[in-house]
Structure 1
Amino acid sequence: MKRALLVLMLLSGCATSGYDRLPKADQNDVHRIEAYLNGIQGLQAAFVQHGPDAGESGGRFSYIPGHLRLDYVVPHPMELVAGEGHLVLDDQGTGAVTHLSLRHNPLGLLLKHPIRFDGDIQVTDVRHGNGSLQISVAQADNPSQGLLTLQFSDVNGQLSLIGLQGVDARQHHFGVLLSDVKQGVVIVPSVFTPPAG
């Protein structure tokens, strides 16, 4: 029943902003996630990505608040750099460079800085597991543009980003699973300079 109501809310486009309607414990967890994401000095990890075509790719994940970079090694070298409202993918296998706006892309919900899950963002779901926590977020004024789920390990009150799941406006699903996560890594800003092209 809860999932059916969530789907109806997303399809209707009438979501309210923020997370005031959530139970107090869930609101506290959303605040913890905001503080964690805004406080990351630098995070790097190995990643495996599952895309809409059921293909699998992988490589190195780098994140600082407001910026993300994926260096693919499988199935072939590619660089994805996202931040400041734009995403650039340089496919070194084909030579193609793709530019996308983050305005209507679920990743844009992660790359606002500072991150605040209120105002123009709606928290649609908070889930707790054994040593895990995840939240799902969407654009409050147009939730049909996509949904992003952020997954964290949550051990002794310490959060660590371990995955992203998303669905875009065309109902394409993607998932990124992180491993060997290192936090507090110094990452030079030039790493997040988009590829030329």
Structure 2
Amino acid sequence: MALARNLMIATFAAALSLAPAAHAAKTDASQFSIEQIAAIDQVSAYLNTITTLTGDFVQTAPDGGVTQGRFFIEKPGRLRFEYAPPAQLQIVSDGLWVAVQDKKLKTTEKYPLVTTPLRMILSDNVDLMRDAKILAVFPETDLVTLSIEETTGEAPGTLTLMFDTAENKLTRWTVTDVQGLDTSVSLENTVAGEPIDPSKFRIIEHRILDVGGSNAR
């Protein structure tokens, strides 16, 4: 169970922050071609169109294990990942905290959103050239692959986004941790713009573990 929690933290606790870190490295635009910059701007523009997004997800762990479930996103900063049985974990962000919850053990690990490195993805004003340290971008006919470095927060490493230019949507992200292990999440059957019940983003707290600045209860 500890391994499963670590995978969730590496993949999703990384994905929910709102505020940029003041000391985060920036992208040097001179290292990219006009085509690459256009691709980066296209991904930023798409992320700025999202108000709500729902769908299914499939998560692949470094050991090849696969879990799946439903996800709900509402910008700014709210997210819920509901894992299908037999998984007992769920991820909930209420806009201030991200909670990794074990339904079987009835525990909640809470992380301040401002400590997590995917802050730019769920903000209202996304500009990847401004807010991220972009390592590489590969614009192809129907796919843009974009890698972002993150050295701060709870889950340092590299984030790789895969963007389908034909369908104009984000289809996958992969978090590579400091040990070089990959955890990937594919988004499927996505629906944008539909209202989401606010209770989806409410953190029902069990026994709180002292993680990332929260107080044990």
TM bracket, shorter-chain basis: 0.7 to 0.9
The change in CA–CA distance for 1:67 and 1:170 in structure 2 (over 3 A counts) is farther
Q: Give the one of 180, 191, 202 matched to 1:193.
A: 202
CA distance 1:188–1:154, change in 2 (3 Å):
same
Letter in 1 for 2:133: Q
- Alignment match, 1:45: 55
- State, as a whole percentage, how many aligned pairs show the same letter: 24
> What is the aligned partner in structure 2 of residue 25 from structure 1?
35
Q: How does 1:140-155 map to 2 (within 5 A)?
A: 145-155=156-166
Contact kept, 8 Å, 2:94 with 2:202, in 1: the verdict is no
Residue identity in the other structure for 1:191:
K
TM-score by length of 1: 0.76
CA RMSD between the two structures: 2.8
Give the structure with the higher percent strand: 1
Find the aligned partners of 1:48 and 1:82 in 2 and give their Cα distance. 19
Deviation string, structure 1 residues 5-54 (Cα, Å, up to 9, x no partner) = xxxxxxxxxx9513512211211221121121121121111111012343
**2:192 pairs with one of 164, 183, 187:** 183
Does the Cα contact within 8 Å between 2:117 and 2:152 map onto a contact in 1? no
Deviations 1:68-100 (A, max 9, x none): 221111432432023646421112133232223
1:97 alignment partner in structure 2: 108
Aligned length: 180
Question: What is the rounded CA distance, in whole Å, between the counterparts of 2:204 and 2:145 in structure 1?
Answer: 32
Q: 1:83 to 1:111 in 2, by over 3 A?
A: farther
Kept after mapping to 1: 8 A contact 2:137/2:146: yes
Paired AA for residue 74 in structure 2: I
| 1:57 positional shift | 0.8
In the superposition, relative to structure 1, how do residues 91 and 130 fare at CA in structure 2: closer, same or farther (>3 Å)? farther
Q: Is the 8 A contact 1:105 1:168 kept in 2?
A: no
Are 1:87 and 2:98 matched, yes or no? yes
